């Protein structure tokens, strides 16, 4: 069994799909592990580190991919990709595992199927207790929530905690988190540690207890609707709810110094939570960090991968927050993939158990057919 760890080519991507630690464990499963030269450099894993873990270092991209039974990726493979992201480098029957964005890019998944590449997308791993150790969305979102707060603080022109000095008292910053999923909860915890006065909003009333347990105030629109999917994600809400939500947020946001938005709906554009008029009513010097920028943004004025200033408010729309913490992000993601790959191996042979809910639901392309999207 051969497994390949390749160098990512997307702009600003610094993560890698295996660490020296997980390479050792993949070898113990019966794999021969090939690493593309320089694949881990941006995560501070050297070629020598991988060699010492038992991997082979291969310089040529096409060679490493064409010899592999399984290729572990961070980002997807497609027609216009470069290097390891180029679909032309892959043989029929190769198994690819990574963040393939199947709901956002169905045409790219069709290309994988047309080329008989068997693909598994980590975004579709079901949220069941047995799959928690494989939940790459959560491991990366957790880091994104933390980094969003750190970046917002570095861009903010004032201090975060209350400070009492001989020259006067500095009031603590007010920080609002929109969306209390994994990223939002980590953002709340980080903002609280820094001394901010933190409040949070989520359409899911079930999030209230988690928010309050972290010491933040929960802002709520009272609704009789069932606002959570079976998978634990937020549903798209009714027009009446959206109107009440907008009014509440508009009033709340006027007093905030920092707003971090994390609201996403799988397979759809991110809900617009912050309108142009809301930004206009915010205090000059305020910060918005939009973690949903890649899905269209929660703020009307967000621009993907840019920082813009509108009405005196700085709006950060970067899509690479986990990648900015590449060493930790890669370590966690590598463990997620290791746990996933273990499901495919029986007695040192690759064997896909289609009765396994995790493998079945995460597979997006198999035997020339598109699945699960």
Residues with active-site annotation: 127, 132, 135, 138, 233
Query: Half-sphere exposure of 286 toward its Cβ, with a 13 Å CA cutoff?
Result: 22
Our CA angle for 104, 110, 114, nearest 5°, is: 160
CB 218 within 8 A of CB 211: yes
174 within 8 A of 196, measured Cβ to Cβ:
yes
Q: Tokens standing for 310?
A: 């509108």
Closest listed residue to residue 257, CA positions, set 352, 143, 162: 162
Q: Where are the alpha helices (DSSP H) in 202-238?
A: 207-213
Type and span of the H or E element at 62: helix 61-66
Let me know: does 53 contact 77? Beta carbons within 8 Å: no
The strand pairing partners of 200, in sequence order, are: 177, 218
Q: What is the rounded distance in angstroms from the CA atom of residue 32 to the CA atom of residue 213? A: 46
Q: In sequence order, which residues have a C-beta less than 8 Å from that of residue 168 and are 6 or more positions away? A: none
The total number of residues written for the chain in this structure: 373
Q: Sign (positive/negative) of CA torsion 231, 119, 329, 158? A: negative
Q: Which residues contact 329 (CB under 8 A, 6 or more apart)?
A: 15, 43, 139, 140, 143, 322, 323
């Amino acid at each position: 069994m051969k497994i390949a760890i390749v160098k990512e080519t997307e702009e600003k991507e610094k993560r890698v799909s295996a660490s020296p630690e997980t390479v050792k464990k993949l070898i113990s499963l019966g794999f021969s592990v090939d690493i593309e030269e320089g694949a881990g450099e941006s995560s501070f894993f050297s070629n020598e580190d991988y060699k010492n873990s038992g991997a082979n270092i291969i310089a040529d991209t096409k060679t490493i991919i064409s010899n592999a039974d399984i290729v572990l990726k961070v980002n997807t493979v497609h027609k216009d990709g470069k290097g390891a992201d180029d679909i032309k480098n892959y043989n029929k029957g190769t198994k690819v595992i990574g963040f393939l964005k199947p709901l956002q890019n169905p045409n790219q998944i069709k290309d994988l199927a047309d080329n008989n590449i068997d693909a598994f997308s980590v975004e579709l791993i079901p949220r069941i207790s047995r799959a928690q150790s494989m939940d790459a969305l959560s491991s990366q979102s957790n880091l994104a929530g933390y980094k969003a707060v750190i970046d917002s603080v570095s861009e903010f022109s004032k201090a975060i905690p209350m400070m009492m000095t001989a020259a006067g008292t500095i009031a603590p910053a007010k920080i609002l988190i929109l969306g209390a999923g994994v990223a939002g909860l980590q953002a709340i915890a980080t903002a609280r540690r820094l001394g901010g006065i933190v409040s949070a909003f989520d359409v899911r009333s079930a999030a209230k207890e988690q928010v309050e347990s972290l010491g933040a105030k929960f802002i709520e629109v009272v609704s009789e609707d069932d606002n959570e999917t079976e998978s634990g994600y937020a549903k798209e809400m009714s027009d009446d709810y959206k109107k009440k939500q907008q009014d509440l947020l508009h009033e709340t946001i006027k007093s905030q110094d920092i707003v971090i938005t994390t609201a996403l709906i799988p397979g759809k554009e991110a809900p617009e939570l912050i309108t142009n008029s809301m930004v206009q009513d915010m205090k000059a010097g305020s910060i918005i960090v939009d973690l949903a920028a890649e899905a269209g943004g929660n703020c009307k004025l967000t621009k993907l991968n840019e920082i813009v200033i509108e009405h005196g408010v700085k709006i950060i729309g970067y899509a690479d927050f986990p990648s900015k913490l590449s060493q930790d992000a890669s370590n966690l993601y590598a463990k997620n993939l290791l746990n996933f790959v273990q499901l495919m191996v029986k007695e040192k042979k690759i064997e896909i158990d289609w009765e396994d809910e995790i493998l079945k639901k995460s597979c997006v392309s198999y035997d020339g057919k598109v699945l699960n999207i």
